[in-house]
Amino acid sequence: MSDRGEEATEFWKHKTLSQMSNSEWESLCDGCGRCCLHKLEDEDDGKIYYTRAACSLLDITTCQCKDYPNREKLIPDCIKLSVDRPEYFNWLPTSCAYRLLSEGADLPQWHPLITGDRDSVKKAGISVSHIAKSGCDPDMLINEIILLPDSV
Write the DSSP assignment of 37-48 as a string of letters: EEEEE-TTT--E
Q: What is the pLDDT of residue 57?
A: 97
Determine the pLDDT at residue 148.
Answer: 84
Q: Are 25 and 17 in contact (CB under 8 A)?
A: yes
Q: Within a domain: residue 115?
A: yes
Classify residue 151: in a domain, yes or no: no
> Is 152 within the bounds of a domain?
no
Distances (CA, A) of 22 to 25, 26, 92, 126, 141: 5, 6, 19, 24, 34
Contact 29, 17 (CB under 8 A): no
pLDDT at 16: 93
Give the β-pairing of 48-54 and 145-146. Answer: antiparallel
CA end-to-end distance (rounded Å), the chain: 27
Cβ pair 124, 110 in contact under 8 A: yes
The Cβ of residue 105 has, within 10 Å, a number of other Cβ atoms equal to 12
Total tally of structural domains belonging to the chain: 1
- Is 94 part of any domain? yes
Bridge-based pairing of strands 64-65 and 145-146 is: unpaired
How far is it, in rounded angstroms, from Cα 29 to Cα 68? Answer: 13
Q: Which long-range contacts (CB under 8 A, 24 or more apart) does 18-21 make?
A: 18/83
| pTM for this entry | 0.86
Residue 95 lies in a domain: yes
Residue range(s) defining the domain that contains residue 40: 3-146
Query: Quick one: pLDDT at residue 84?
Result: 86
Per-residue pLDDT of the chain (152 residues; tens, 9 = 90+): 444 445 458 999 999 999 999 999 999 999 999 999 999 999 999 889 999 999 999 999 999 999 999 999 999 989 888 888 888 888 899 999 999 999 999 999 999 999 999 999 999 999 999 999 999 999 999 999 999 876 54
